[in-house]
Amino acid sequence: MADPYDHDNIFAKILRDEIPAKKVYEDIHALAFHDINPQAPVHVLVIPKGPYVSLDDFLADAPDALVTGFFRAVGKVSRELGIAESEGGTGFRAMANAGSDAHQEVPHLHIHLFGGKPLGPMLVK
């Protein structure tokens, strides 16, 4: 079971404009911004506008309109960044860590979008 949502986590503070972020996209469902420690030439985080700890929590509890709007925002961001194949990019990786085994560092659902170079294997063995 996921820990309860921490309203003082860094992404909650970014959503409230208490901490600045280099935003790339925002709508009523989602906010996307550059990662402060990029792991690829393109590394953007997309977060839903709501108190969800993980993808499991989000899919179980978020209203259908938010789920749809959030995932549409992920797609829109990938196209706007030019990493989607439909926009001439060579593709991207979308990743969401959930829980301690996956090394989730911030307890707010976030999708990492990586692109701009060959990304290698999915997991280190």
| Segment 49-100, tens digit of pLDDT | 999 999 999 999 999 999 999 999 999 999 999 999 877 768 999 999 988 8
Q: Can you tell me the mean pLDDT for 100-111?
A: 89
What pLDDT shows up at residue 31?
Answer: 98
Q: Which residue is catalytic, options 29, 108, 110, 112?
A: 110
Q: Helix/strand/coil (H, E, C) string of the chain?
A: CCCCCCCCCHHHHHHCCCCCCCEEEECCCEEEEECCCCCCCEEEEEEECCCCCCHHHHHHHCCHHHHHHHHHHHHHHHHHCCCCHHHCCCCEEEECCCCHHHCCCCCCCCEEEEECCCCCCCCCC
Q: Is 108 a catalytic residue?
A: no
**Whether pTM exceeds 0.85:** yes
Q: Under a CB-based contact definition with an 8 Å cutoff, are residues 39 and 92 in contact? A: no
Q: Is the pLDDT of residue 1 over 60?
A: no
Predicted confidence band of residue 40 (pLDDT cuts 50, 70, 90):
very high
Residue 2 has pLDDT above 80, yes or no: no
